[in-house]
Amino acid sequence: MIKVENLSKIYKNNNEEIYALKDINLQIKKGEIFGIIGLSGAGKSTLIRCLNRLEEPSNGKIFIDGSEITNIDNTSLRETRKEIGMIFQHFNLLSSKNVYKNIAFPLELKGLSKEEIDKRVNTLLKYVELEDKKLAYPSQLSGGQKQRVAIARSLANNPKILLSDEGTSALDPKTTKSILDLLDKIRKEFGLTIVLITHQMEVIKDICDRVAIIEDGRIIELSTVEEIFTNPKTKTATEFISNLKLNTEEEIDYERKPGSKILRLSFLGENSKKPIVSKMVKYFDIDVNILSGNINELMSTSIGNLILEISGKSEEIEKAIDWLKDEDIKLEVI
Ligand SMILES: Nc1ncnc2c1ncn2[C@@H]1O[C@H](COP(=O)(O)OP(=O)(O)OP(=O)(O)O)[C@@H](O)[C@H]1O
């Protein structure tokens, strides 16, 4: 659905040249949810904005559904953009128009009749569960409701692709989850291809099929989400994954017994199903106290976290830790 070849972007500021994107190559399949993650300044926004030419590439080619969009004139570009919806971190709603009018806006531009617009807007309002907010103004809505309006507006023209530029970054975790669920529903029901940029690994974990990690304008790692969690290849990928902590972890007050150690274990893929704790107690002369644990479901695998307190003779504790490492369990003594 999307093919990017040797894409580069250079910003020129006075006499300075900033290489925001350097030789980006990627292909995104129809119906895929593709995540692009990176730290601030890595080039994420520039990359996603090049996909609909909101930003003009300096070099390279972009193909949407087989047609090159990097060499088309402005009239064709306007047509192509109708196939590509976009949502933003700060929603970009028109504050002077109510919810209904915001969603109707792209349809009015398209020249549809009042009846056609009314039918479509009402269908979309129902779809994003905001029928009761039809006459409200953006300032009267919560962040999640604003993003639902923006999603409805982005779907008005029946696009093939939806781009999300940090679409959940301004939302709390619960609202983020509900927006991600909505995006997944849109992909499933309409077969839309979704490209999203984020700096949150939670978003990648919850919804993406594949992910590209971008650093300093280059893609440094690109794989399925399962692969990146089970076999991260770069330090940046490992750091993003290790930032995914237990939700409850912060709230736990670890009371340490003298001589005991507290470990945070991360199980990836098949490892999350192994009876690690019972084996450890059998093999070594130690006591194990489970302080907390959870399992995060990815789109295609799971990642488990467990916080254990281990007590016993220090040499037995060390042997148990070495055994865990041999079993390929990621661990950290905390
Ligand atoms: N209009 C511009 N003019 C000059 N430099 C720019 C412009 N837009 C972005 N840059 C530079 O390009 C690089 C990539 O920026 P970009 O906004 O794409 O990164 P990002 O990964 O989206 O960061 P953030 O998460 O902070 O938005 C940065 O060094 C940034 O300063």
pLDDT digits (tens, 9 = 90+) for 275-294: 888 999 999 999 998 887 77
What rounded mean pLDDT belongs to the chain?
90
Q: How many angstroms separate the CA atoms of 103 and 124, rounded?
A: 8
pLDDT attached to residue 247 = 42
Ligand 1 contacts CB of residue 17 (under 6 A): no
Maximum Cα–Cα distance for the chain, whole Å? Answer: 79
The pick from 19, 39, 45, 236 for probing ligand 1's pocket by mutation, whose C-beta has the most ligand atoms within 8 angstroms, reads: 45
Residue nearest to atom 3 of ligand 1 (CA): 11
CA of 192 to the centre of ligand 1 (A): 27
Give the nearest ligand 1 atom to 46 CA.
18
What order of strands is seen across the sheet that includes strand 261-268? 286-297, 302-312, 261-268, 330-333
The CA-atom distances, in angstroms, between 197 and each of 99, 162, 194, 201, 224 are 25, 11, 10, 11, 15
pLDDT, one tens digit per residue, over 139-156 is 999 999 999 999 999 999
Tokens 């490992």 sit at which residue? 238
Q: Where are the beta strands (DSSP E) in the chain?
A: 2-13, 16-28, 33-37, 59-64, 67-68, 84-88, 161-165, 193-198, 210-215, 218-224, 261-268, 286-297, 302-312, 330-333
pLDDT for 228 beyond 90: no
pLDDT interval class at 251 (50, 70, 90) = very low
The pick from 16, 36, 44 for probing ligand 1's pocket by mutation, whose C-beta has the most ligand atoms within 8 angstroms, reads: 44
- pLDDT top residue among 152 and 305: 152
74's tokens: 């402005």
- Nearest Cα to 48, choosing from 77, 80, 7? 7
Backbone dihedral angles phi then psi of residue 258, each to the nearest 5 degrees: -60, 135
As for the ipTM of the complex, it is 0.97
pLDDT for 230 beyond 80: no
**Is the four-CA dihedral 111, 116, 120, 126 of positive or negative sign?**
positive
